[in-house]
A = this chain, B = another copy of it.
Amino acid sequence: MTPRQQAHAARAASRQLARLPAAVRVAALRRIADALLARRDEILAANARDVADGDVAVQAGAMTPALAARLKLSDAKLTTLSAGIHAIADAPEPLGRPLRRTELAAGLELTETTWPLGVLLVIVEARPDAVPQIAALALRSGNGLLLKGGREASRSNRVLHQIIAEALAPQIPPTAIALLETREAVADLLELDDVIDLVIPRGSSSLVRYIQENTRIPVLGHAEGICHVYLDEAADLKKASRIVIDAKTDYPAACNAMETLLVHVSLIDAVTPILDALNASGVALFGGPRATTAWGMAPAPSLHHEYGDMACTVELVDDLHAAIAHIHQFGSGHTESIVTEHEETARAFLGAVDSACVFHNASTRFADGYRFGLGAEVGISTARIHARGPVGVDGLLTSRWLLRGDGDIAADFQSGARQFTHRRRPLTTHD
């Protein structure tokens, strides 16, 4: 099949999926979850060969150790993965959920209900565990999936995809979830903005940026997470210290880790123990222009910089407005947090900062689908259309407007023979 044929086949499969009873999709999910345990020896054997090749590549300097580490599956990982897919199966049915109901006129009833987006193109770097996870999310939400796994994990991916394909049969067409093997296939698919509805890159910032720059298809994700913590003059310094240390050091490579610490100028002396604590935790501090002068720090490479590591930028600001202006000018619209005991200042910050996530007295690390209670996470979006912030299964849905009448025509309303009532109806069960 050509990439276009594959995409069309995925769309046709999605339409079939959306029509099947939820129980069929759920049963396929449970078969995948069970097979991940029953066939673990086979999976781990294939994975061991990918990992061995990865180790050779690391020694030759052709792969980073971080990437190689993500390749490795284990008994424990497969158990978690299997439980996660059972949880996706247990979650409420996402399709056909009513979003809005309106009586347009007597006997003319409108319902907007959820429906699959259509065809997803997901591109994963390394991480073979993402393959069954994403397949499960697509299946649950009735979407066709074109999945490009990392070449480094090709043996693992092939076994995992085989398990998925077997679990789909016989009711779900195998074209519902296709595994792509080559970069060329991806380049071709990125052209198909008339057939593919959403691209989800799961990997490095450079992957996300490459995808964003090379397709007209909407991209769900974020290329950067330049998150700020602002210590207000009314900050409780104990809370500030806990939050700053957590936001930077809990997982410094995460997109929701703090990259810039903004400090109200009145705290120029009081903040010293927090800066010392960061230092003591192994965090290298770089300064904005004012911090460099005040504390003699090495200058930050830029005020718009994501370290993704045990390092951050520190800068002094005159007040709340300067902090917000700094965030708007240099941030990436991901997650920002204010530390203050002053309720009005907190309210002003939460009311004004134009980012996906805006927090008060909480670590930026909470910006995450699981922590937000969304269940399985598709990704975190810094785009402003469709979905913003942590995205769960809802981000893989669109809607349809269903209207039920009894021979109703528009001309009767134009002539005045009939009137619209536009009465909102309560949302009840599935439709």
Are A406 and B351 in contact, CB atoms less than 8 angstroms apart? no
In the complex, whether A355 has a CB less than 8 A from a CB of chain B is yes
A8→B262 CA distance, assembly (Å):
24
A395→B115 CA distance, assembly (Å):
17
In the complex, whether A402 has a CB less than 8 A from a CB of chain B is yes
Residue on B nearest A404 in the bound complex, by CB: B360
A115→B198 CA distance, assembly (Å):
23
Are A400 and B110 in contact, CB atoms less than 8 angstroms apart? no
Q: List CB contacts (< 8 Å) of A197-253 with chain B.
A: 197-198, 216, 218, 236, 238-239, 242-243, 245-247, 250
Residue on B nearest A370 in the bound complex, by CB: B420
Chain B residue contacts of A363, Cβ below 8 A: 408-410
Residue on B nearest A424 in the bound complex, by CB: B373
A100→B8 CA distance, assembly (Å):
35
In the complex, whether A130 has a CB less than 8 A from a CB of chain B is no
Chain B residue contacts of A354, Cβ below 8 A: 15, 18, 115, 118, 400
In the complex, whether A272 has a CB less than 8 A from a CB of chain B is no
In the complex, whether A359 has a CB less than 8 A from a CB of chain B is yes
Interface string of A310-340 (1 = CB under 8 A from B): 0000000000000000001000000000000
Shortest beta-carbon distance, A143 to chain B, in Å? Answer: 10
In the complex, whether A345 has a CB less than 8 A from a CB of chain B is no
Secondary structure of the A side of the interface? mixed
Most buried by B among A104, A239, A243, A359: A359
Residue on B nearest A373 in the bound complex, by CB: B422
Shortest beta-carbon distance, A138 to chain B, in Å? Answer: 15
Shortest beta-carbon distance, A425 to chain B, in Å? Answer: 11
In the complex, whether A280 has a CB less than 8 A from a CB of chain B is no
Interface string of A407-423 (1 = CB under 8 A from B): 11111011000001010
Are A361 and B102 in contact, CB atoms less than 8 angstroms apart? no
Are A362 and B400 in contact, CB atoms less than 8 angstroms apart? no
Are B197 and A408 in contact, CB atoms less than 8 angstroms apart? no
In the complex, whether A365 has a CB less than 8 A from a CB of chain B is yes
A243→B421 CA distance, assembly (Å):
20
In the complex, whether A366 has a CB less than 8 A from a CB of chain B is yes
Interface string of A1-29 (1 = CB under 8 A from B): 00000000000000100110000000000
Q: Which 6 residue pairs spanning A and B have beta carbons closest together?
A: A362-B405, A239-B407, A373-B422, A246-B409, A365-B410, A359-B403
Return 12 A-B CB contacts under 8 Å, by A number: A18-B352, A102-B372, A104-B366, A104-B372, A197-B385, A218-B218, A350-B404, A362-B408, A371-B420, A373-B422, A386-B386, A389-B400
Give 7 A-B pairs besides A104-B366, A243-B407 with Cβ atoms closer than 8 angstroms.
A238-B407, A246-B411, A362-B408, A366-B403, A373-B424, A385-B385, A385-B386
